[in-house]
Structure 1
Amino acid sequence: MRHLVLTSLAILAAGTATAAPLSTVGSVEVTISPELQKKAADELGLKDVDRLAAELRRDVTRELERTGVLAGGRLELVLTDVRPNRPTFRQLGNQPSLSHESFGIGGATIDGQAVSVNGEVTPIHFRWYGSDIREAWTKSTWSDANYAFDRFAYRYGRGESYAAR
């Protein structure tokens, strides 16, 4: 009886392991450019920028797994610039004249490269910043940067952002 239960559990575990979907993305790596690192340390806050890099990685991985673009390849992204819509906590602490009600146009710039399974390297450049200050007053601190990440992930996942310059 014990042998039958152990065998059943082993078969069930093996079936579960083979039924799990394989990742369609080899890897998505997001780094922060040295200029943005300095800007984060001096002005924006390191936690905020690290959180944004993690969000970019999550968004891109989700879209690539959904669409299967770059299956088995590697995506190396560099977060080059980000601008908040509202002051970050670090900015509020550094500049007493700012208020959380202050607002501006935000966004992000992403550079990098896609490396396919066969080793072909494709450069990537994506930039999106808000264009209408009248919309900025309704947004949270990183709304435009998050929108830029979503837009990049969506477009890249559908093959629309390869080497866009």
Structure 2
Amino acid sequence: MRAVLVSPLLAALALGAALAAPLAAFAAPAVSSVRVSIGPGLAEKADQIGDRDLDSLAADLRRTIERRLPSARDGGVLTLVIDDARPNRPTAQQLLTTQGLSMESFGNGGATISGDYVDAAGQRTPIAYSWYGDDIRWARHSSTWHDAEDAFDRLARRLAKDQFSDAR
């Protein structure tokens, strides 16, 4: 009978593959497309907030998610809905329609996002995330949508860590 010798390099590669397999389950989900829309509740406030600002928010959320998640042709579809968003400073539309507001006005902002991720196999994972600033002292130095953009970034980081169940 002939003995089979395994080279140390092949043994190291086999061990590395065996160790990497469980880690693959914790990798960020591959996404083939990201769809972002404005929820009906927030769309009703378009007269107050402004269509341009809502379009900008949707584009910003999409860019933020696409920057953080790996893309793949055979990846899943991520559908997100901005259900609510509060600005730190008045939007251009609010300045036009509300007396007493100025760019010196400020407050805590943030956003609520829902949606789902459907992987390539068709398995659906719901997503719900909400974050609002809680310290008015920081709002004075913020841009109009700073806290909402921060909420988008926090969600993107969680999704990149494959924490769909923790994105609440």
TM-score, normalised relative to structure 1: 0.79
Whole-Å Cα distance in 1 between the matches of residues 147 and 88 of structure 2?
7
Q: CA deviation at 1:162?
A: 3.2
Whole-Å Cα distance in 2 between the matches of residues 163 and 27 of structure 1?
22
Is the CA contact (8 Å cut-off) linking 1:45 and 1:88 kept in structure 2? yes
**DSSP 3-state at the match of 1:114:** strand
The structure 2 residue matched to 1:50, chosen from 49, 55, 76, is 55
Per-residue CA deviations over 1:6-58 (Å, capped at 9, x if unaligned) read: xxxxxxxxxxxxxxxxxx42110001111111112x21001001111011011
**Counterparts of 1:27-66 in structure 2 under 5 Å?**
27-40=33-46, 42-65=47-70
Whole-Å Cα distance in 1 between the matches of residues 60 and 164 of structure 2?
19
**DSSP 3-state at the match of 2:34:** strand
Per-residue CA deviations over 1:95-124 (Å, capped at 9, x if unaligned) read: 121111000000000000000110000100
- Aligned amino acid, residue 146 of structure 1: E
How many equivalent pairs are there?
139
**DSSP 3-state at the match of 2:108:** coil
> In the alignment, what sits opposite 2:88?
85
Whole-Å Cα distance in 1 between the matches of residues 66 and 88 of structure 2?
25
**DSSP 3-state at the match of 1:50:** helix
Q: CA deviation at 1:62?
A: 1.2
Query: Which structure is higher in helix share?
Result: 1
The share of aligned pairs that are identical, in percent, is 52
Matched, 1:73 2:76: yes
**Counterparts of 1:1-165 in structure 2 under 5 Å?**
24-40=30-46, 42-65=47-70, 72-162=75-165, 164-165=167-168
Per-residue CA deviations over 1:118-163 (Å, capped at 9, x if unaligned) read: 0000100000000101111110101101111111111111112436
Decide whether aligned partners of structure 1 residues 163 and 116 sit closer, same or farther in structure 2, where only a CA change above 3 A counts: farther
Could you say which structure has the larger radius of gyration? Answer: 2
What RMSD over aligned residues (CA atoms) do the two structures have, in Å? 1.7
**DSSP 3-state at the match of 1:148:** helix
Q: CA deviation at 1:164?
A: 3.4
Whole-Å Cα distance in 1 between the matches of residues 112 and 106 of structure 2?
19
Is the CA contact (8 Å cut-off) linking 1:122 and 1:163 kept in structure 2? no
- Aligned amino acid, residue 43 of structure 1: Q
Give unmatched runs, 5+ long, in structure 1: 1-23
Give unmatched runs, 5+ long, in structure 2: 1-29
Whole-Å Cα distance in 2 between the matches of residues 142 and 164 of structure 1?
21
